[in-house]
Amino acid sequence: MEEQEEYLPPLPPEDDAVIIPEETIETPIYHKPAGINYWSQFGLLLGLIGAGVVAGSFASIIVVKAMMPHVSLFSLDKALLDPANANAMKVLQLVSTILMFFLPAFLFGLIAYKKPFPYLGFNINISWKQAGLVVLIAWMALFVGSALGDLNERIPIPKHWQDKFKKAEDEYSEQVFAIAKMDNAKDYILAVIIIALIPAIVEETFFRGMMQRFFTDWFRNPWVAIIFTSIIFSAIHMSYYGFLARAMLGVVLGLLYYYGKSIWLNILAHFLNNAVAVTALYIFSMKGKLTKDALEDHFPLWLCLIGSVTLVALLINFKKKSEAFLAEKETIKLQNEFYR
């Protein structure tokens, strides 16, 4: 009797060919909570944000009293600008950002959707091609941000507003100099973790993982959600002259999250953006040239224009690669379920 040849299921595609129709990938999956409408979700979101601010404020007081017992709360602003209190400032930022950003996002996902980490986008379904493109996108965004920063300064505003915004920028620079005090490589590594990595994780979880995802589900329009979230993202940094640059960065990060479907890609891009600034501060600090100019990026206009065109091209490529990768993953999943 002739032996029948064993049938084997087809192998997953080796290239980026999209097996599932592209419109399937384009259509966003809206998440409906069990028994909680969107207005109730919105109230929950606002309540958790408020609770996070209160918790962060109380925690900040505890940190100050523990690490700087001699400092009065009434003179706290001046004390935090002293480079001698740099470590206290770093711990203060670490604790306050986690409580103000990460905790509300986690609790929102837990209460409204029961599974906070999947809802917020904490999945490892990413490819090396996506990660490589994210690195290039983050780099090009620096040039575009520089051009938008220059544009922001050229927008005519009343003199008293200009003075007020300049004063706020100077105070922000003093705070950065205080927290970014780095005398050696150990200080640099610690600053990268506290100033670059942790804010990237907690801010992306809050703004993209929770806020953008919620508005995308509610508005049924990803572009509205991305732009709205980006405006809030930029405004909350309280910097007029950096508003356009941060809003642009918010849009880029929003697109990465929407098409990449993983918060880790956003964290990578945000971390690289922060890490470049921390590294520049460290280099200037070690050379004894740490001034306000060290915080400002100024590139030739032609380089910014090239960067802008390149950034758009990279985002389009990222969209295509992400759609292909997610389609391939979905195909493999369906094959495994079919032949199980």
pLDDT at 66: 85
Token pair recorded at residue 300 = 């030739």
Angle between helical axes of 243-260 and 128-154 (0-180°, round to 10): 160
Greatest alpha-carbon span in the chain: 96
- pLDDT tens readout for residues 147-193: 999 999 899 999 999 999 988 888 887 777 777 778 889 989 999 99
pLDDT confidence of residue 293: 63
pTM for this predicted structure = 0.86
**Tens digits of residue pLDDT in 126-159:** 999 999 999 999 999 999 998 999 999 899 999 9
Percent of the chain beyond pLDDT 90? 54
CB contact set of 9 (below 8 Å; sequence gap of 6+): 335, 338, 339
What's the mean per-residue pLDDT of the chain?
Answer: 85
pLDDT tops 80 at residue 339: no
Digit-coded pLDDT (tens) for 10-38 = 444 444 444 434 444 343 444 555 557 89
Asked if 201 and 115 count as a contact pair (C-beta separation under 8 A), the reply is: no
Give the amino acid at 59. Answer: A
> Residue 143 contacts by C-beta under 8 Å, 6 or more apart in sequence?
299, 303, 304, 306, 307, 308, 311
Each residue's pLDDT tens digit, 251-297: 999 999 999 999 999 999 999 999 998 998 888 888 776 666 666 66
Q: Mean per-residue pLDDT for 219-248?
A: 95
Q: How many CB atoms lie within 10 A of CB 162?
A: 14
Q: Which of 35-49, 72-86, 274-288 has the highest mean pLDDT?
A: 35-49
Cβ 311 vs Cβ 137: under 8 Å: yes
Would the pLDDT of 225 be above 80? Answer: yes
In this predicted structure, the answer to whether residue 76 has a pLDDT above a threshold of 90 is no
pLDDT confidence of residue 19: 41
Residue 54 has pLDDT above 90, yes or no: yes
